[in-house]
Amino acid sequence: MTRTDLTDAELERYARHVILDEVGEDGQLKLLQSKVLVVGAGGLGSPVLLYLAAAGVGTLGIVDHDVVDTTNLQRQVIHSTDDVGDAKVASAAERIEALNPDITVHEHRQRLNAANAMGLIDGYDLVVDGSDNFAARYLLNDACYFAKKTLVSAALVRFEGQVSVYKTQDGGPCYRCLFPQAPDPDLVPRCDTVGILGSIAGVVGCIQATEVLKEILGIGTGLVGQLLLFDALDMNTRKIKTKRDPNCALCGDNPTITALG
């Protein structure tokens, strides 16, 4: 049944949303009825999940196979010291429940792979990539392309981050249009080898959460066809225009990738 009114408790909890002309009661209802899948409950996933839960995004799915490690706590703010050794999906779900008990959380304690990706994203309106590796990023891109779902993607390293929204169902580019080739894994800087300033995950994750909320609400100009680059050392942000590549192996005119694998 589609709801048409907020309850008194919801009107109070979300009062600062409802008062915004761009959100209002209708927008808050949209948030409450939306379903978002977040892949990775780590540096990016932490702020994304916390802000989406606080905002009242009604159903949140979390995909992560890992357990909380002490070295995660420097930036993965959804987890606490007491959670070390626990499954990240369980730790995140517990924190979300404490923050906003109205949210339904689905814990998917598994590693994203070609066999489970389509099943995992099925049933969600929108997907957030908070993964930490290229294999997952390409796989999620391809799955969202085949499922015609919007993907809000970001990546982090050291003092830098990037964010974009891939909406191929509306003619926008996919991740492969921008990055056709996965780099050699040995040459890619990773947080666990080169480090990351913890707050960078917060900044970039909050931009990602904001793009998700804008997408659901249908307000503003999203990062479709734009790649936002953030450099904390100089506190610079810039946006690069992107477009669909007709030669893209996935979404191009003569695709060579026709299934996940």
CB of 223 to Zn ion, least distance (A): 16
Q: Is 174 a catalytic residue?
A: no
Instruction: Convert 55-87 to b/e letters by CB count within 10 Å (16 or more is b).
Output: bbbbbbbbbbeebbeeebeebbbbbeeebeeeb
What is the footprint of Zn ion within residues 106-165 (CB under 5 A)? none
Q: By the 8 A CB rule, do 38 and 49 touch? A: yes
Binding flag, residue 251, Zn ion (CB under 5 A): yes
Compose the 165-184 pattern: x for residues touching Zn ion by CB under 5 A, - for all others. Answer: ---------x-xx-------
Binding flag, residue 248, Zn ion (CB under 5 A): yes
Task: Name the segment binding Zn ion (CB under 5 A); options: 101-109, 135-143, 219-227, 246-254.
Answer: 246-254
Pick the catalytic residue from 191, 206, 248, 251.
Answer: 191
Residue 89's alpha-carbon distances to 48, 106, 260, in angstroms, are 14, 9, 25
Residues 6+ apart with CB under 8 A from 24: 18
Nearer to Zn ion, 40 or 225 (CB): 225
Structure tokens at 249: 């192996």
CB of 178 to Zn ion, least distance (A): 8
Residues 6+ apart with CB under 8 A from 216: 30, 31, 34, 36, 57, 125, 126
Binding flag, residue 50, Zn ion (CB under 5 A): no
Nearer to Zn ion, 144 or 196 (CB): 144
What is the footprint of Zn ion within residues 194-223 (CB under 5 A)? none
For Cα atoms 199, 71, 114, give the angle at the middle one, nearest 5 degrees: 90
Nearer to Zn ion, 17 or 176 (CB): 176
| Closest CA relative to residue 208, chosen from 65, 71, 36, 19 | 36
Nearer to Zn ion, 87 or 251 (CB): 251
Residue 120's alpha-carbon distances to 114, 136, 171, 221, in angstroms, are 10, 13, 24, 28
CB of 199 to Zn ion, least distance (A): 32
Structure tokens at 69: 């490690």
CB of 167 to Zn ion, least distance (A): 12
Query: What is the number of the residue whose Cβ is closest to Zn ion?
Result: 248
Structure tokens at 138: 């390409």
CB of 248 to Zn ion, least distance (A): 3
Per rule CB under 5 A, count of chain residues that contact Zn ion: 6
CB atoms within 10 A of CB 131: 24
Nearer to Zn ion, 198 or 255 (CB): 255
Residues acting as catalytic residues: 191
Binding site for Zn ion (CB under 5 A): 174, 176-177, 248, 250-251
